[in-house]
Amino acid sequence: MVAICGLAVVALPFPSLLPMSLFSLDYLCPAYRDAYGRINAMVIVGEGLAYRHFRLLAAAFPEQARELKHLAAMEAGHARAFVGCGLHLGIQPELVLARSLFAPLHGLFLEARAQADRVGQVVIQCLIVECFAVAAYSAYLPVADAYAQPITARVMADEGKHLDFGERWLRPQIVAVGGTVIAWCTRAIPVILAILSPLRADVIAIGMDPGELVGEFSALLSESLGRIGLSPEQVRRLLAAGAAPWLAGSAA
């Protein structure tokens, strides 16, 4: 049995198959609110960083600066919308913790930028971060409160456009940049998944399944890497090294 905010729920061998209607999340109970303060902060900081990364990408891609500034503005809107979700529940986001958890990923982006490596910057923000965002929001959607639900659905659709920008830019030159894509993915996948480690209990407390989130991230990133032209074997090896320990439960 697991208890979610005082409600006992039978633990099934396949928790993702448990219809959420059987749960009744109490958005007002202290355990939910405590966890939501950290998760909400992660989302606000993640969206804020995405804004900064797209502004930096706009500087690195003068020919697409207009489109990239538009994507950056969307990210700023996402951050504001999720601030609203916390305010709606009367919750204070734990921003200091969130900034420290995102620092290694931001550092990796800045490293690519310092090397004027446009492939690295696009891989990190448009593929890795955006697949992670779509996976996180799709796992959150069924357990979101009525205020956050339509906001999350709208934001998720936007993230698909950010992923699409990266794919459109990488696909035509994949023969030349495939090795660089693989090298940055190899470094960035463990870094983004490490963000989840200290949040595992919080993710569960708000009704989500961390294994499902990592599985969805892995599936979305695999599809994306396949769309830009990596071979199924290259994709399998990348994800096996980066995400398999999580899916097997040893890194969670």
188 binds ligand PL3 (CB under 6 A): no
CA-CA-CA-CA torsion sign (198, 204, 205, 206)? positive
Q: How many chain residues bind ligand PL3 (CB under 6 A)?
A: 19
Instruction: By CB under 6 A, name the one of 136, 193, 230, 235 that touches ligand PL3.
Output: 136
Q: How far is the CB of 136 from ligand PL3 (least distance, A)?
A: 4
166 binds ligand PL3 (CB under 6 A): no
Interacting span for ligand PL3 (CB under 6 A) from 126-134, 173-181, 222-230, 240-248: 126-134
Using left for φ > 0, alpha for ψ between -120 and 50, and beta otherwise, residue 18 falls in: beta
Using CA atoms, how far apart are residues 236 and 233, in angstroms rounded to an integer? 5
Kindly report each contact of residues 229-235 with a partner whose C-beta sits within 8 Å and lies 24 or more positions away, as own/partner: 229/170, 229/171, 229/174, 229/175, 229/178, 230/174, 230/178, 230/181, 230/182, 234/178, 234/182
- Give the count of alpha carbons within 13 A of 83, CB side only: 10
Instruction: By CB under 5 A, name the one of 33, 38, 53, 78 that touches Fe ion.
Output: 78
CA distance between the termini of the chain: 20
Residues 204-223 close enough to bind ligand PL3 by CB under 6 A: none
Nearer to ligand PL3, 58 or 136 (CB): 136
210 touches 204 (CB < 8 A): yes
In Å, how far from its chain's centre is CA 228?
Answer: 20
Nearer to ligand PL3, 44 or 178 (CB): 44
CA-CA-CA-CA torsion sign (138, 142, 147, 150)? positive
Nearer to ligand PL3, 117 or 159 (CB): 159
Instruction: By CB under 6 A, name the one of 50, 91, 177, 205 that touches ligand PL3.
Output: 50
Name the amino acid, one letter, at 43. Answer: V
Nearer to ligand PL3, 92 or 231 (CB): 92
Instruction: By CB under 6 A, name the one of 57, 72, 75, 123 that touches ligand PL3.
Output: 75
Instruction: Tell me the C-alpha to C-alpha distance, in Å, between residue 121 and each of 70, 116, 126, 191, 206.
Output: 17, 9, 8, 15, 32
Nearer to ligand PL3, 50 or 189 (CB): 50
47 binds ligand PL3 (CB under 6 A): yes
Q: Which residues bind ligand PL3 (CB under 6 A)?
A: 39, 42-43, 46-47, 50, 75, 78, 129-130, 132-133, 136-137, 140, 159, 162, 199, 203
Binding site for Fe ion (CB under 5 A): 47, 50, 75, 78, 159, 162
